[in-house]
Amino acid sequence: MKNPKSILITGASSGIGAALANEYAEPGIVLHLSGRNKGRLEAIKTDCETRGATAHIYTIDVTDEVSMSDWVLSCHPLDLVIANAGVSSSLSNLDNISDHTKNIFDINVVGVFNTIHPAIKCMKPSGQGQIAVVASVAGFRGLPSAPAYSTSKVTVKAYGEALRGLYYKDGLEINVISPGFVKSRITDKNKFKMPFLIEADQAAKIICRGLKINKPHIIFPWQMHVITFIAQRLVPNFVLDYLLTKLPQK
């Protein structure tokens, strides 16, 4: 969508979400921002209002289906919804694999569903609106170094791709965003070298450009796009399986 005026962003208290809020903030723009940290949200709200936007903040749990539905519906009409909230964590103890996996899926997958389903309900009757889901370059294949996280992003990527076709005739624009390493509170916890790491502000600019032209899949940085393309199409599976076992644990 070229000029969205009413924008909802989850996970807006830091990282990509906060950078997107600031990137879109300008006079005439209404921002609905959610996150789990009220203090950081208030700081983002101040930044956005300094730029001339109107910003409303909400501390809300994306896994709470009823609360999310009530919130999204209360923000209608919406031009653009970005389901950005997500978590990543290491699996250090196999005894906790069930709880670990459920927690990541509840936030990264169910949280996306809880954000975009009420948005679709609002937008479909009017035949316009844009919804973007944040996946990851880790979502191109299950990673032994981060099984729950990568699988959650595979799911989000596939769901976004499916919805794009499903709602095309209804006039809705559905986009998938697959970042590589972006400097944030999540990546700050990583203890390994992160190739092609970019700043959140740079990521936000790339995303906004892609959404403006309704790019189906926004993958960045370009180096990671090239690597995933080669890995998927040119590297034999047995070689790729071996290489992936050498990745550092998240």
Are 185 and 174 spatial neighbours (Cβ–Cβ below 8 Å)? no
Cut 0.85: pTM above it: yes
What is the pLDDT, as a whole number, of residue 97?
83
The 10s digit of each residue's pLDDT in 224-247 is 778 787 777 777 776 766 666 766
Mean pLDDT calculated for residue range 104-123: 98
What is the pLDDT, as a whole number, of residue 99?
87
Task: Round the CA-based radius of gyration of the chain to a whole number and report it.
Answer: 18
Question: What is the rounded CA–CA span in Å between residue 118 and residue 243?
Answer: 41
What is the pLDDT, as a whole number, of residue 235?
73
Does the pLDDT of residue 1 top 90, yes or no? no
Question: What is the rounded CA–CA span in Å between residue 168 and residue 164?
Answer: 6
What is the pLDDT, as a whole number, of residue 244?
66
Are 87 and 35 spatial neighbours (Cβ–Cβ below 8 Å)? no
**C-alpha dihedral sign at 101, 117, 182, 35:** negative
What is the pLDDT, as a whole number, of residue 250?
56
Question: What is the rounded CA–CA span in Å between residue 222 and residue 225?
Answer: 5
Which among 65, 69, 55 has a CA at the least distance from the CA of 13?
55
Question: What is the rounded CA–CA span in Å between residue 61 and residue 150?
Answer: 22
- The region, left, alpha or beta by phi > 0 then psi within -120 to 50, assigned to residue 41 is alpha
Does the pLDDT of residue 155 top 90, yes or no? yes
Question: What is the rounded CA–CA span in Å between residue 209 and residue 127?
Answer: 22
- Strands lying side by side in the sheet with 54-59: 54-59, 30-35, 6-9, 80-83, 130-134, 173-179, 217-220
Q: Which domains, ranges and CATH numbers included, belong to the chain?
A: 6-245 (3.40.50.720)
The 10s digit of each residue's pLDDT in 54-79 is 999 999 999 999 999 999 999 999 99
